[in-house]
Amino acid sequence: MNDMIEGLIRKILGPESIQLDDSAVLDPGPGKIAFTTDSFTVTPLFFPGGDIGKLAVNGTVNDLAVMGAIPLYLSCALILEEGLDMGELTKILESMRRAADYAGVKIVTGDTKVVGKGAADGIYINTAGIGIMENEALRGEIAPGDAVLINGSIGDHGVAVMAERNRLSFTRGLLSDCAPLNHLMERVASNCPGAVKFARDATRGGVASVLNEIVKNRHFSATLNEASFPVKDEVKGVCGLLGIEPLYVANEGKLVMVCDGGRAEEIVHAMRETEEGREACIIGSIGAEYPGKVVLETEIGGRRMLPLLAEEQLPRIC
């Protein structure tokens, strides 16, 4: 079985793009590098708009991209449950290959372990990634008056996966937003140098959790304007039904940015020039009242806090 699997991986991910049980020797060039890792345990393995393979590539690409790094190299470590359908594995590997090609990264090293029936759930994928640091100025000082931006509609990934898992039929047409954010980050860096103070992909815990991390123990707040951010009707519907706030739902192709208020329009314009930023917009601002808190200004004019949630609302979402 191992030989067949290794043959499949080499064939799909490319004879030179994967070295098994070995190290890749790389020349990322001078300067600092970024290094990250993520394991993917999403269930189901296939969902509208993506699968665990696409997710594993884009998730790690995004962790690098939001740091201001240019993602270059990925590792691919598979844990396979005995009896996994080879057709499914093939689809997942092909999906990884396409995602890596689209993001412009190379899968340069890998590992495969097979565990017995019942010792895993189909397949788990770990990707670690290396990027070169392009833009260290990304770690700017956040202050009242700054704007909060997003690159499109929120909650698509979490709701698409949950709908697939629970066979909800009324979300038909809703796709996960799973996408690489490096092209968008690079466009913004080249069109608006020095403008971005902070960027973070809004995965587990959603946009509200990213904002809570930003304001935690700080002297400023983040205020979101409910009318301003795009939420698809299907996402609103499912969240309303389950009493979940879309701002806490996982995304896999969305990032939250903070920048000087005066440069927000310029960044929105640059993001909109990219495939992943077509619906970019300003969704809120950094303020001086309610220090350390995230505040939602509702569509009917009220205000409520968006605290950091202790628990994950949706397990196995990535």
Query: In the range 189-208, which residues lie near its own copies by CB under 8 A?
Result: 203-204
What element of type H or E holds 190?
Answer: helix 182-191
How far apart are alpha carbons 134 and 303 in whole angstroms? 39
C-beta closer to its own copies: residue 79 or 211: 79
Q: Which of 39, 90, 191, 228 binds its own copies (CB under 8 A)?
A: 39
How far apart are alpha carbons 226 and 297 in whole angstroms? 6
Q: Does 177 bind its own copies (CB under 8 A)?
A: no
Q: Does 69 bind its own copies (CB under 8 A)?
A: yes
Q: Does 118 bind its own copies (CB under 8 A)?
A: yes
How far apart are alpha carbons 238 and 85 in whole angstroms? 31
Nearest residue to 184 via CA among 128, 131, 253: 253
> What does DSSP say about strands 147-150 and 46-47: parallel, antiparallel, or unpaired?
unpaired
Q: Does 93 bind its own copies (CB under 8 A)?
A: no
Q: Does 76 bind its own copies (CB under 8 A)?
A: yes
Residue type, 130: I
> Least distance from C-beta 106 to its own copies, angstroms?
11
C-beta closer to its own copies: residue 143 or 308: 308
Q: Does 11 bind its own copies (CB under 8 A)?
A: no
Residue type, 224: L
Q: Which of 9, 17, 41, 282 binds its own copies (CB under 8 A)?
A: 41
How far apart are alpha carbons 298 and 221 in whole angstroms? 16
C-beta closer to its own copies: residue 11 or 316: 316
Judged by CB under 8 A, the stretch of 28-36, 246-254, 272-280, 293-301 that binds its own copies is 28-36
Q: Does 111 bind its own copies (CB under 8 A)?
A: yes
Q: Does 243 bind its own copies (CB under 8 A)?
A: no
C-beta closer to its own copies: residue 58 or 171: 58
Q: Which of 9, 12, 17, 36 binds its own copies (CB under 8 A)?
A: 36
> What does DSSP say about strands 294-297 and 303-305: parallel, antiparallel, or unpaired?
antiparallel
The size of the chain, in residues, is 318
Nearest residue to 239 via CA among 164, 152, 312, 171: 171
How distant is the alpha carbon of residue 1 from its chain centre?
33
> Least distance from C-beta 206 to its own copies, angstroms?
13
Alpha carbon separation from 94 to 11, 46, 82, 120, 158 (Å, rounded): 10, 13, 20, 21, 23
C-beta closer to its own copies: residue 35 or 170: 35
How far apart are alpha carbons 115 and 165 in whole angstroms? 24
Q: Does 217 bind its own copies (CB under 8 A)?
A: no
Which spans of this chain sit near its own copies (rule: CB under 8 A)? 2-3, 21-28, 30-41, 63-64, 67, 69, 73, 75-79, 108-111, 113-116, 118-121, 124, 126, 128-131, 133, 136, 203-204, 310-312, 315-316
